[in-house]
Amino acid sequence: MNKKPIGVFDSGIGGLTVYRAIKQRLPRERVIYLGDTARLPYGSKSESAIIRFSEENAHFLMNHEVKLIVVACNSSSSYAVPHLQASLKVPVIGVIEPGAQAAVELSRKKVGVIGTSATIMSGAYEAAIRKRNPCLEIVSRDCPLFVPLVEEGWVDHAVTRMVAEEYLVPLKKVGIDSLVLGCTHYPVLSKVIGGVMGEGIRLIDSGVTTAGQVDSILRNLGWLNHDPPDSEDDFYVTDFPDRFRRVGGIFLNRKIARVSVAGN
């Protein structure tokens, strides 16, 4: 098991924030990444579509003999993780439970949750936070324009700052003390989001806490890879590899050399 890769999937490019966190924490693990770029965004899709797409993504990764699957997409994690856990023979980790755990550890009284419309509508973060601490107050809102702004490369841009103010000032006004960045793309906007929220409000990147959970699960199973990986990580998309290569650079701060189309 130790030498087998970790499988990571997302609706597209955003899951690279989770990929990056996993590689920082576990540089010896080889990763197979699948971005379902043909069907993104998931954040505006229905529960049944998201579950179906997620199952197909997971089967693609299983065919590559992964030892564990990380559902990097918050929208997929909100709906599909229990289905995948019930049907697959490898551990499946989503980003919601680790993000909720971090929220409970870092928040004192009132936590904000932002995400896609699908994630916020699912109530998954709220349920996961309440399960751990029923006394924490939770305020959530969807911020659908953040994803296209990041994909446009408008990371530090006047328009993005205006949109961030529109979405986030109401959360600031109700007095949240921490904010869960409940979407793969939002950590890329940490500077803009942090600028609007101000210094006292902690930003929670669920990718980082998810990487910690991957580490502890593999460690407990004795499945960590202790040698340098035999080969490079593989990146697959379901459409438009050139765009993934180009926009992916924004997420990783480096070029992605090879991106293949899944099934080819």
Site string for ligand DGL, 142-181 (x = CB under 6 A): -----x----------------------------------
DSSP codes joined into one string, 18-56 = HHHHHHHH-TTS-EEEEE-TTT---TTS-HHHHHHHHHH
- Any catalytic annotation for residue 143? no
Residue 231 φ/ψ, nearest 5 degrees: -145, 175
Q: In whole angstroms, how far apart are CA 12 and each of 15, 127, 182, 199?
A: 7, 26, 16, 31
Q: Decide if residue 119 touches ligand DGL (CB under 6 A).
A: yes
Residue 224 φ/ψ, nearest 5 degrees: -70, 145
Q: Decide if residue 238 touches ligand DGL (CB under 6 A).
A: no
Which residue of 9, 42, 60, 223 would you call a contact of ligand DGL, by CB under 6 A? 42
Q: Please, which residue, 205 or 225, has the CB nearer to ligand DGL?
A: 205
- What burial class does residue 138 get, using C-beta atoms within 10 Å of its C-beta: 0-12 exposed, 13-18 middle, 19+ buried? buried
Q: Please, which residue, 119 or 178, has the CB nearer to ligand DGL?
A: 119
Q: Decide if residue 10 touches ligand DGL (CB under 6 A).
A: yes
Q: Which of 18, 31, 34, 73 is catalytic?
A: 73
> What's the token pair of residue 124?
């998954």
Residue 230 φ/ψ, nearest 5 degrees: -70, -30
Name which of 55, 46, 6, 16 is nearest 225 in CA terms: 6
Q: Please, which residue, 74 or 140, has the CB nearer to ligand DGL?
A: 74
- Any catalytic annotation for residue 73? yes
Q: Decide if residue 37 touches ligand DGL (CB under 6 A).
A: no
Which residue of 66, 70, 73, 80 would you call a contact of ligand DGL, by CB under 6 A? 73
Catalytically active residues, by annotation? 73, 183
**Contact residues for ligand DGL (CB under 6 A)?**
10-12, 14, 40-43, 73-75, 116, 119, 147, 183-185
